[in-house]
Amino acid sequence: MRLKLSFTSDIEYITLPLHHNYAIQSMLYKNLPKFLSDFLHDMGFFYKGRPFKLFTFSKIQSEHFIPLKKSRRIKYRTPIGLFISSSVSDITKNLGETFIKKDKVVLGRNTLFLESIEIEPLPEFKEEFYIKTLSPITVYRTFENGKKYYRYYFPQEKDFNELIRKNLAKKYNIITGKEIEDFPIEIQPKNIKKVLFKYKDFPIEAYEGIFKIKTNPEMFKVVYDAGLGAKNSQGFGMIEVVSDI
């Protein structure tokens, strides 16, 4: 299930750290019931010992923003929008119910007020779509060479598609309880750019823009609900279907 939230404020612009995925994630955890927040934060859903959170969220939507590079912060004109999606309906349902009941919501150092909340209708899932990133896509492998390091892949590399496939198969297994090995999946970049993020001062390479995706409708629903690629619960891999490019 996917929610579209709009928040307003008493001031025209709110200010956040330049890299604020962690601030948004923290706000979401704080607005879940404690048992569910603790479960997602500390455990999640496991596939062969590896945890998955099965939710994702978008970048902040705003009519105007102002990067403040010297202070490493950014200002967003209110109202601001935020999309949240999950393959587990209890996550989005509880978030929606909590936001409706609360007088105010704290994001970073900003006090926000819920202006509207909508349940987004599902698109008609087909075998081929153009998609636009609502938050950038990242995939990587972890290596050890005296110390742990991460190798991020760009969309033109063969491993990018393969890592997308493996990640999607694991999510599918957790959601449905069924193993799947052979399924079509092809991601083609059409108009993209590389972006660099930091999550808790940890650097992440990702890509945003327009992609063409081919897969079966059942697998695309997993992509749509839980996110494409890795680090979805940190604000990566949320996509929307677009008809025109």
Q: Which residues pair with residue 212 across a beta bridge? A: 130, 188
**One domain, residues 169 and 80:** no
Q: What is the pLDDT, as a whole number, of residue 244?
A: 67
Distance from C-alpha of 59 to C-alpha of 135, rounded to nearest angstrom: 5
**One domain, residues 132 and 115:** no
Distance from C-alpha of 32 to C-alpha of 185, rounded to nearest angstrom: 33
**One domain, residues 10 and 67:** yes
Q: What is the pLDDT, as a whole number, of residue 245?
A: 63
**One domain, residues 136 and 97:** no
Q: What is the pLDDT, as a whole number, of residue 117?
A: 95
Last residue of some domain: 84, 119, 154? 119
**One domain, residues 43 and 112:** yes
Q: What is the pLDDT, as a whole number, of residue 146?
A: 77
Last residue of some domain: 83, 100, 119? 119
**One domain, residues 132 and 238:** yes
Last residue of some domain: 74, 99, 119? 119
**One domain, residues 10 and 114:** yes
Q: What is the CATH number of the domain that holds 232?
A: 3.30.70.1900
Helix (H) or strand (E) holding 85: strand 80-86
**One domain, residues 105 and 132:** no
**One domain, residues 185 and 168:** yes
Q: What is the CATH number of the domain that holds 70?
A: 3.30.70.1890
Among the listed residues 136, 130, 171, the one whose alpha carbon sits nearest the alpha carbon of residue 155: 136
- Consecutive sets of 10 residues in the chain, 245 residues long: mean pLDDT of each? 96 96 96 89 83 94 93 96 95 93 94 96 91 97 85 95 95 92 91 94 95 94 96 97 79
Q: What is the pLDDT, as a whole number, of residue 42?
A: 84
Q: How many Cβ atoms are within 10 Å of 222's Cβ, its own excluded?
A: 22
Q: How many Cβ atoms are within 10 Å of 175's Cβ, its own excluded?
A: 17
Q: What is the pLDDT, as a whole number, of residue 231?
A: 96
Distance from C-alpha of 125 to C-alpha of 178, rounded to nearest angstrom: 20
Q: What is the pLDDT, as a whole number, of residue 8?
A: 97
Question: Could you list the residue range(s) of the whole structural domain that residue 152 is in?
Answer: 128-242
Among the listed residues 63, 78, 71, 72, the one whose alpha carbon sits nearest the alpha carbon of residue 111: 78
Helices assigned H by DSSP within the chain: 21-30, 34-42, 89-101, 158-176, 217-226
The total number of structural domains that make up the chain: 2
Helices assigned H by DSSP within 14-88: 21-30, 34-42
**One domain, residues 90 and 13:** yes
